[in-house]
Amino acid sequence: MKKFKMPSAFTILFIIIIIVAVLTWIIPAGAYDYAGESSGTPEPIPGTYREIEKNTQGIWEILQAPISGFFDAVDIILFILVIGGFLAVVADTGAIDAGIGSIVRKFSGRETLMIPILMLLFGLGGTIFGMSEETIAFYVLIIPIFIAAGFDTVTGAAVVFIGAGIGCLGSTVNPFATGIASGFAGISIGEGIVLRLAILVLTMAISIVFVMRYAKRVKANPELSIVADMRADNEAHFLAHGEDGSYENGDIEKETAAGAVASSNAESNKMSGRQKAILAVFGICFFIMILGVIPWADKFGIYIFEDISAFLADIPVLGTVLGKIVPLGEWWFSDITVLFLFGSLVCAFIWRWNETKFTELFVDGARDLLGVALIIGVTRGITVVMNDGGMTATILHLGEESLKSLGASAFIGLSYLFFILLSFLVPSSSGLAALSMPIMAPIADFVGVGRDLVVTAYATASGIVNLITPTSGVLMGALAIARIPYGTFLKWILKLVAVLFVLILAVLCVAAAIS
């Protein structure tokens, strides 16, 4: 009998499209009146639901749905592809690897102090650009350092994995989680950033304390390590500079070999002036993005960026040459895409690539995220079928009738739990955002909860599940490299996850109550 193999995310999503299309033949079609359509974020008006004639979806509509989904999400998809190109350009310079390698060298001999510093660095990567797969390169560099300092493989792996994982959990501007979710919720990435930053700070502080307490116990008494029985083998394996070379997974072995080269380069070479310049461009681009998506004028009455744009436009000749620059605070995905395309060109100029080399790097980076773009298009196809079949309004009406008696705190708490359950079924954070936000965001309007709070509930739920789910390639890869059994790791980290779960739930409920 063949062993059951979980179908790919694309297959699961296409099956959902078929199921939804079938349901359009069964579920009554409906419609709402909407307010604020000119603003780009139309909100259904409570009490205006009405049944309409069914528009059943057939085979043609099923096949056409993903295509229509691409058209509907083209701004988000282009944004993702350009971000992929930008990250590939930066990664090829080795600037990020060299930067972290420089930190490791500076704190050699003070490994305990290195724990919070590295966790914060990886956390910044997670919260800013969703650093996850990129961390694979650092396990082979950091784990031996912590073992040599008297810790264990769990400490080294936790510094990287939990650090980046908490960053993704508190995704302030992570384009692959918060960005996509905000886009499908019809709001700016910057909305809700203060709350997400608060969650990031709180969860990171707790996680650092958790890892440091464990590390100190292990250093004082190695028998308290959760992998104490593997201590001698791990020391021989990691401190012999990988002469053994065997890992539990062939694919991980290849990734580790590539990572070892990158990490050893980062460790042995000091950062060059050009690498520092690349890191500066990298940081400036994300800083400008944050400024661009926070609604300064609309939410806070701060008009300085409008004034700057008007001033530049009024300068003779220069204003015409620069063009009509959208003021910071009013940016949407097209504007952020322009920013990162320009940042890529600046990096190419600093690194002195020729046109051919730069184009190859940028296209390869975009190609790496083509899977994410396809997931978004296919997932959006589900919404297309629901909208065309009149199901969306009917589901919203069901949500309005069943949830209107709930308070804001109860609704956001249930939403958080719903996103956690859905995260296990849809492990792709991008797919989850595209699938859930078109429904959950309008339902929040009925309850009087801000859409940004729903986005935050989604991001934190997805992040907390990714710390433990066995469907995460990053987690299983990290455990394979660190030689930590999944069951052992799960038992250890569940204590931290339980605390984070309760904390985030409390913060979300309080935020909903006072909003």
Cα(458)–Cα(453) distance, rounded to whole angstroms? 9
Residue 257, pLDDT score = 38
Closest-CA residue to 226 (of 210, 242, 215, 240): 215
Closest-CA residue to 461 (of 479, 477, 437): 437
> What H or E segment, with its residue span, contains residue 207?
helix 193-220
- Paired tokens of 289: 């993005």
Cα(169)–Cα(416) distance, rounded to whole angstroms? 13
Cα(506)–Cα(352) distance, rounded to whole angstroms? 50
Residue 255's φ and ψ, nearest 5 degrees, are -65, -40
Below-70 pLDDT ranges, the chain: 1-6, 36-41, 240-269, 404, 427
Residue 154, pLDDT score = 95
Q: What angle do CA 84, 86, 90 make, to 5 degrees?
A: 115
Residue 56, pLDDT score = 92
Residue 242, pLDDT score = 42
Chain centroid offset of residue 316 CA: 42
Which SS3 state, helix, strand or coil, does residue 134 take? helix
Residue 30 β-bridge partners: 51
Residue 269, pLDDT score = 52
Q: What is the DSSP letter of 73?
A: T
Cα separations (Å) of 223 from 88, 143, 147, 174, 484? 42, 18, 14, 39, 16
Cα(192)–Cα(174) distance, rounded to whole angstroms? 13
- Paired tokens of 94: 């080795």
Residue 129, pLDDT score = 86
Chain centroid offset of residue 302 CA: 29
CB–CB of 403/79 below 8 Å?
A: no
Q: At what angle do helices 95-106 and 111-129 cross, to 10 degrees?
A: 160
Chain centroid offset of residue 106 CA: 29
Which SS3 state, helix, strand or coil, does residue 2 take? coil
Residue 40, pLDDT score = 62
